[in-house]
Amino acid sequence: DEHEIITTGSIGISFYPEDADNAVDLIKYADTAMFQAKQAGRNGYQFYTKKFNQQALTKIRLESALRRALKKNDFEIYLQGQQELDSHLLIGAEALLRVRRGELSSISPAEYIPIAEESGLIVDIGDWVFSEVCRLLRHWYDNNLLPLGFKRIAINISPVQFERHDFIKKIQQCIQETCVPVQHLEIELTESSLQESTHSVIEKLVSIKAIGINIAIDDFGTGYSSLSRLKQFPIDLLKIDRSFVADICGNESDMAIIKAIISMASALDIGTLAEGIETQEQADILETLQCSQGQGFLFSKPVNTENFEAILASVKKSSKSILESVA
Ligand code: C2E
Ligand code: MG
Ligand code: MG
């Protein structure tokens, strides 16, 4: 039809007899190598190495472990507290996915979430996390377990979930079903969720805000958000990525980046929370730079819901005794 079509080729190569001694395996390995050539940007070639095969096998194993965990209801929520840096008040928690048993129980979600995203499993997993957090929050609210000043539980949302056309509908449905106090919910999006066509992103963010949910940007500073884009989005909180916090004491450029993020956020009336605070020195520097909130092993590691309820109870008890001593 007179259209000019440009095609390129991706080539995978395996050798007889180094890689395999039969045609079936040779073709399988060449196919694995071709897949890598495509991942490396297409229009190129790649030789098969054993490493590719191991990577592919690990991926298949983890994906089926994820399917099993979903089916057997083996997921659970861990919570990590978030503090106000000057008052040390517990102001929130982040919900983090964990698996109760098997291989996935000893692996960080950072390793298997990408596999869940690639396979589409993240949609069901994300739905489970969202409804479980709503259920928890409702329970704490009903039983008066939330201490004074406790603002929110934050839920990580994958770009794959966020981009789906029914994302808003699903969260509305879950909120209705659980009657959760929405003012205590926050969602964490990554910068990559905001890269898509700006119009539909803004529409979704506005709907989320209209429901009453807070919006945070996770791992901020590692993506490519521009100032002008940020200004258009109704964002409540920037979570400064822990890679900057890790070197804040010794690395001048990390310190400069953190300073810039804080002053930019404050000009746009957005809060800042530093992730991955491990030492008192880091916390002190961040406080001096007027970062108002923090999260990290210095304050507490992620714990299961039972242990987090114990933390809530002890915070409640100590604030009550402070109030009593003031009275
Ligand atoms: P994230 O959302 O940035 O979560 C913070 C991660 O940093 C958690 O790792 C937490 O355990 C870890 N962390 C907190 N404080 C410190 C610290 O002081 N030092 C160090 N070294 N690490 C600290 P985790 O639980 O392994 O989760 C890793 C990532 O997996 C999360 O990063 C998030 O991107 C993803 N993830 C976790 N749960 C979910 C979920 O329910 N849904 C989605 N879509 N992603 C999730
Ligand atoms: Mg997060
Ligand atoms: Mg983060």
Q: Which residues surround ligand 2, an ion (CB under 5 A)?
A: 156, 188, 218
Q: What is the pLDDT of residue 197?
A: 67
d(CA 156, ligand 1 centre) in Å:
9
Banded model confidence at residue 321, pLDDT cuts 50, 70, 90:
low
Does the beta carbon of 106 lie inside 6 Å of ligand 1?
A: no
Tokens at 135, concatenated: 């259920």
- Residue 250 has what pLDDT? 86
Whether residue 219 has its Cβ less than 6 Å from ligand 1: yes
CA neighbor of 260 nearest in space, from 272, 250, 277 = 272
pTM summary value: 0.89
Residue with tokens 């992730």: 275
Whether residue 248 has its Cβ less than 6 Å from ligand 1: no
Give per-residue pLDDT as tens, 228-280. 778 889 999 999 999 999 999 888 898 999 999 999 999 999 999 999 999 99
129 ligand 1 Cβ < 6 A: yes
Residue pair 211/169 in contact (Cβ under 8 Å)? The answer is no
Give the Å distance between the CA of 188 and the centre of ligand 2.
6
Question: How many CB atoms sit inside 10 A of residue 44's CB?
Answer: 13
pLDDT at 322: 62
| Residue 158 near residue 167, CB atoms below 8 Å | no
| Mean pLDDT for the stretch of residues 192-200 | 78
Q: For the segment 127-138, what is each residue's pLDDT rounded down to a tens digit?
A: 999 999 999 999
Within a 13 Å sphere around the CA of 91, how many CA atoms are in the beta-carbon half?
14
DSSP states of 42-92 as a string? Answer: SSSEEE--HHHHHHHHHHHHHHHHHHHHHHTT-EEEEEEEEEETTT--EEE
Q: Across all residues in the chain, what is the average pLDDT? A: 93
Q: Which residue has the higher pLDDT, 327 or 164?
A: 164
Q: Is 127 in the pocket of ligand 1 (CB under 6 A)?
A: no
Per residue in 273-312, pLDDT (tens digit) is 999 999 999 999 999 999 999 999 999 999 999 999 999 9
- Ligand 3 center from residue 149 Cα (angstroms): 22
